[in-house]
Amino acid sequence: MTDESPNNPYQAPDSTSQKPVTPGSPVLASRLYRFLGSIIDGLVQLVVIGPIIYFSGIWDAMMQGTGDISLATSAGLFIAGELIFLALQGWLLFNRQQTIGKAILNMRIVGMEQDNVPAGKLYGLRYFVFHVLAQLPGVNLIMIVDPLLIFRSDRRCLHDHLAGTQVIQTQSTTA
């Protein structure tokens, strides 16, 4: 009797257990490429939002600790951030199911059930919900948990599970 029987409840899980890749099936984007794509998207957003925060005086107020930012200013920055996100990423997101970072690194967002993902799921569930949650003290800790789920075998973050999406490579890479 061996411990390698398929019904052994004490056997360590197989670290390679993942859907078998069949010809024609999409290849999941690597964790490294998803991370780099997120960094690229964040830097693109920062290039636009950074000067707005700096030249409006908000940066100086935050650095000097002269007072809290009002709720109206905070809400205005959130709305401006969402509009800038949509201006920068919207066309790629809604027409090619990519962000700038994903396009540069040859990745694309697809649905688990069907290739095309409706705009409400793409923007609303993958991005907007998490942008809102990031503004709420305590709840914003979800922004730490979200990307950590990429280390599971299906490589899907929390926002992927919520929207029913996954990220695939559109061309073969060496990452």
Helix-strand-coil percent breakdown of the chain, rounded to 5? 55, 5, 40
More confident residue, 103 or 69: 103
**Mutual orientation of helices 71-96 and 31-55 as an angle, nearest 10°?**
140
pLDDT tens digits, residue range 127-171? Answer: 999 999 998 888 889 988 998 999 999 999 999 999 999 999 998
What pTM did the predictor assign? 0.78
| d(C-alpha 52, C-alpha 46), whole Å | 10
pLDDT value of position 88 = 95
Distances from the Cα of 74 to the Cα of 18, 56, 79, 112, angstroms? 43, 13, 9, 35
User: Using CB atoms within 10 A of its CB, is residue 117 exposed (0-12), middle (13-18) or buried (19+)?
Assistant: buried
* Amino acid present at 66: T
DSSP per-residue codes, 47-101 = HHHHHHHHHTTHHHHHHHT-SPPPHHHHHHHHHHHHHHHHHHHHHHHHHHS--HH
For residue 64, the model assigns a pLDDT of: 82
32-55 pLDDT, tens digit each = 999 999 999 999 999 999 998 889
pLDDT at 18 exceeding the cut of 50:
no
Q: Encoding tokens for residue 59?
A: 């940066």
* Residues in the chain, overall count: 175
Q: Could you tell me which of 26, 40, 175, 167 has the C-alpha nearest to residue 107?
A: 167
Q: Where are the domains of the chain?
A: 31-169
From CA 68, how far away is CA 74, in angstroms rounded? 10
